[in-house]
Structure 1
Amino acid sequence: MGKISYYTEEGLNRLKAELVDLKTKGRAAIARQIAEARDKGDLSENAEYDAAKDAQGLHELKISKLEEVLSNARILDESTIDTSQVSVLSKVKIKNKKNGAEMTYMLVSEEEADLKSGRISVGSPIGKGLLGKRIGETAEIKVPAGVLEFEVIDIAR
């Protein structure tokens, strides 16, 4: 059994759409590649056929992994999020104590993480360090560049 991951409704729908796409368009494209390679003659010396079969195996593995993720996925009701402390799907405004820079991040599952849109994984060093913190508390987070100190300024949902 895999570990349970929590998603926003939008994130879960995106994963479901990706799975449907892989099962329909993706499988059809690979079947075409295999058919084209098979039409080129002797399969024992056909590198294109071997490559297409390998691609098919990798594609099916990706489908299998995505199905496993979806079977362990749960939608987290954002209205039930406790904003007194940092948790999954919290929007956290933090201040770097060293340089005074302020940032706002939303803590999400690893699959939904996207730094450009301000979404960081709860499994990342910063995400782990912020979990459970309350407004006014300082999180000392060990990152590859050293230890960073962030003050939690605000928590929202």
Structure 2
Amino acid sequence: MDRIPITTEGYARLKKELEKLKTIDRKEIVAAIAEARSHGDLSENAEYDAAKERQGMIEARIAELESKMGRFQVIDTKSLSGDKIVFGATVTIENIETEEQKNYKIVGPDEANISNGTISIMSPLARALVNKKVGDEVLVVAPGGELEYEVLEVKFN
């Protein structure tokens, strides 16, 4: 069984989501299904169909989170330091060709969100960055082609 790396913050967020799904969302969907049933014929009841579909999505998410909770390897990024890029590091990189700079924090796959500036440790970019230092150039082989970056900063929050 493979371990899944996750920050303490990411773990807390997913644990909170699981609790909400089990204690609040489940009860709300049961009430919505009961309300839809009270409207009569279920074969042509769009409210009932939508509520049952939502219930299926909630139960699937609960099962997914419960399955992963035991496999998470929680890493406290506050205790990390150094000059090499590792899981939990926040990096500033510059595209050598376009001179565009970007900041990313390297996190677990379940908490990665590119629009929030977090990338998965499993992504091609993060894999290329691991163990690099400020001043290193990195060649990233991505689905869209090869990109070359320079590491400008490595920090740990």
TM-score normalised per structure 1: 0.83
Matched, 1:75 2:74: yes
C-alpha RMSD of matched pairs (Å): 2.2
- Which residue is equivalent to 1:10? 9
Q: 2:140 corresponds to which letter in structure 1?
A: I
C-alpha separation in 2, matches of 1:115 and 1:27? 30
Secondary structure at 2:31 match in 1: helix
- Which residue is equivalent to 1:150? 149
- Which residue is equivalent to 2:65? 66
Q: Name whichever of 77-86 and 11-20 sits farther off.
A: 77-86
1:62 Cα offset (Å): 0.9
- Which residue is equivalent to 1:93? 92
Aligned residue pairs, count: 156
- Which residue is equivalent to 1:120? 119
Secondary structure at 2:33 match in 1: helix
1:119/1:47 CA distance change after superposition, 3 Å: closer
Runs of 4+ that moved beyond 6 A: none
Q: Name whichever of 15-24 and 134-143 sits farther off.
A: 134-143
**CA shift digits 1:68-107 (9 cap, x unpaired):** 2222122212255352421110122222111223322211
Q: Name whichever of 125-134 and 43-52 sits farther off.
A: 43-52
Query: Any residues of structure 2 matched to 1:92-111 within 5 Å, and which?
Result: 92-111=91-110
C-alpha separation in 1, matches of 2:30 and 2:141? 48
1:93/1:27 CA distance change after superposition, 3 Å: same
Q: 2:137 corresponds to which letter in structure 1?
A: T
Secondary structure at 1:25 match in 2: helix
C-alpha separation in 2, matches of 1:101 and 1:48? 48
Task: Could you tell me which runs of 5 or more consecutive residues in structure 2 were left unpaired when the two chains were aligned.
Answer: none
